[in-house]
Copies of this chain bind each other. A is one copy, B any other.
Amino acid sequence: MLRGRVIGNIWASKRLDEVPNGAFLEVEVEPGGARLIAFDVLGSGVGEHVLVATGSVAAAWFPGQAPPIDALIIGSIDESSSGF
């Protein structure tokens, strides 16, 4: 998984029908600063530190037919022994 900080939201009204409803959050990977867009169902907010799973395991989390989603926020980080 990657750890990162939520830095914003993305809105996409024109989209494939199979894209689930929910939040698309922009996450800055820490450390390093790379960015990705992750799907969120935990209600994560800007500034929150999160854990992101990427690849087909993100799609496989959804019940039923796997949607074309390759990054999913799986948790919110409370604490990290190595700091943020």
Q: Contacts A14-B42, A31-B35, A34-B32 given; indicate if A26 touches B56 (C-beta within 8 A).
A: no
Interfacial residues of chain A within 13-56, with CB under 8 A of chain B in the complex: 13-16, 18-19, 24, 26, 31-32, 34-39, 41-42, 46, 51, 53-56
Q: Which of B13, B55, B76 contacts A70 (CB 8 A)?
A: B55
**Number of copies of chain A assembled together:** 5
Q: What's the interface size class on A, roughly?
A: 35 or more
B11 in contact with A80 (CB, 8 Å): yes
6 further contact pairs, Cβ within 8 A, besides A15-B75, A26-B80, A55-B70: A1-B39, A10-B80, A10-B81, A46-B81, A53-B68, A56-B57
